[in-house]
A = this chain, B = another copy of it.
């Protein structure tokens, strides 16, 4: 199936985009978390989202979830790893599955975690963002895993079951995963060693080095340069015009990923515009 619109991200901008795409009668596929936005739900108090009064982030996120349910919006809980232009459509790789859509609305938020030097250029050459896609390649080999959210621990386990040795760099609290062959690092990975344009090892802040065959980066949010390298950026944000069109035909963006102010109200406004622009774009294809 070729979807009319793929929406990537379930924060306020993604929600606003998804609801309008559905109301406008287009087919859609929406990637993100059933819990919508961790960031919203952790906000202490929001005073300036017009119409809801002073509200905690938790309550606002719950209100967003109720609204999503009321409209019957469905979410696929998969990380989108890559988007590839395919002529008139785009291929979207989410987890180990492929999806295809005529247009895309990016609501990926801001990447709070920086990528490592060299990381982007070594994707597919030892750097992977997808355990289920590339795990098999590292059967009985030595790997490193950088992980920034507890909810990816099952992917860590999946990789540890395959690999011989796993050097583990968890960037979150409450690490509970243990495994025969997981060696938890006591210093952060700061450098990727390479040889002939392939990953060869890691160096820690402590100065120690280890040889590895591959590195898995399991992070919330993915750097835009990795997701869709063709996309034009401006001050580290996705460059858009007033219609929320990016530099690529059929790709729209909304919310924090398009720049400041980082505000929920701005995000929903832009999501709304992006959805309307996407639908107008679709009608131009007919």
Contact = CB atoms under 8 A, between A and B. Distances in A.
Interface of A: 12, 15-16, 19-20, 23-25, 47-54, 60, 63-64, 66-67, 70-71, 132, 136, 151, 153-154, 157-158, 161, 240-242, 259-261, 263, 265-273, 276, 279-280, 282-283
11 contacts: A16-B48, A16-B265, A24-B158, A25-B161, A50-B268, A51-B63, A53-B63, A242-B259, A261-B273, A265-B268, A265-B271
B70 A63 contact: no
By secondary structure, the A interface counts as helix
Contacts of A54: 70
B241 A24 contact: no
B24 A53 contact: no
Centre residue among A63, A266, A279 by max chain B CB count within 10 A: A266
Most-contacted residue by chain B among A153, A242, A265 (CB, 10 A): A265
B273 A266 contact: yes
